[in-house]
Amino acid sequence: MNYAEIKKCDIANGEGVRVSLFVSGCRRHCKGCFNAVAWDFSYGKPFTEETEAEIFEALSPDYIAGLSLLGGDPFEPENRAALLPFLKRYRQRFPQKSVWCYTGYTYSGGTLKEDDGEGVRELLKEIDILVDGPFIEELKDIRLKFRGSSNQRILDLKRTMESGNIVLYLT
């Protein structure tokens, strides 16, 4: 997996001060995407053990609320294969910190609509808040918190998976 960028003090992609990892690779190619450069799976730098150590170091201060995953799309098969073991190590090291994840896929019935391939359910279990749905330029609304278009949802994924019903995260 490659990554496009790491933001070590991000307040735009989830609640609180966060470390954000922008992975490379997305097949969706939404019109008006804010990060089209990251559509290319080979864009950026390889995600290595050193990258993970850098992210963990940035997550260490108490004022950091957690990790946000964006892209590209973290749920592309090439990305989830690397993210799943990374998130398991993150959970061991930072059990009190949250994970927000942004995807163009739509959550439905315990998996992602259009893709329930290998690793999807396991990756979903490691995520607290999921911002789902493709960016739709015609539905763009700059007044929305933590999402770009009004079709996108902010799901409390832990409560959604426990109840079997969609539970929206209220910001």
**At 61, is the pLDDT very low, low, confident or very high (cuts 50, 70, 90)?**
very high
pLDDT digits (tens, 9 = 90+) for 123-157: 999 999 999 999 999 999 999 999 999 999 999 99
Look at the domain 2-163 and name its fold.
TIM Barrel (3.20.20)
Question: Residue 23: which residues within 8 A CB-CB, separation 6 or more?
Answer: 1, 2, 3, 4, 38, 47, 69, 70, 71, 72, 73, 74, 76, 79, 83
Give the integer Cα–Cα distance in Å for 17 and 35: 21
pLDDT digits (tens, 9 = 90+) for 90-121: 999 999 999 999 999 999 876 787 666 778 88
Mean pLDDT of the chain: 94
Tokens standing for residue 131: 């911002």
19: helix, coil or strand?
A: strand
- 153 near 132, Cβ under 8 Å? yes
Q: What's the pTM?
A: 0.94
All structural domains of the chain with their residue ranges? 2-163
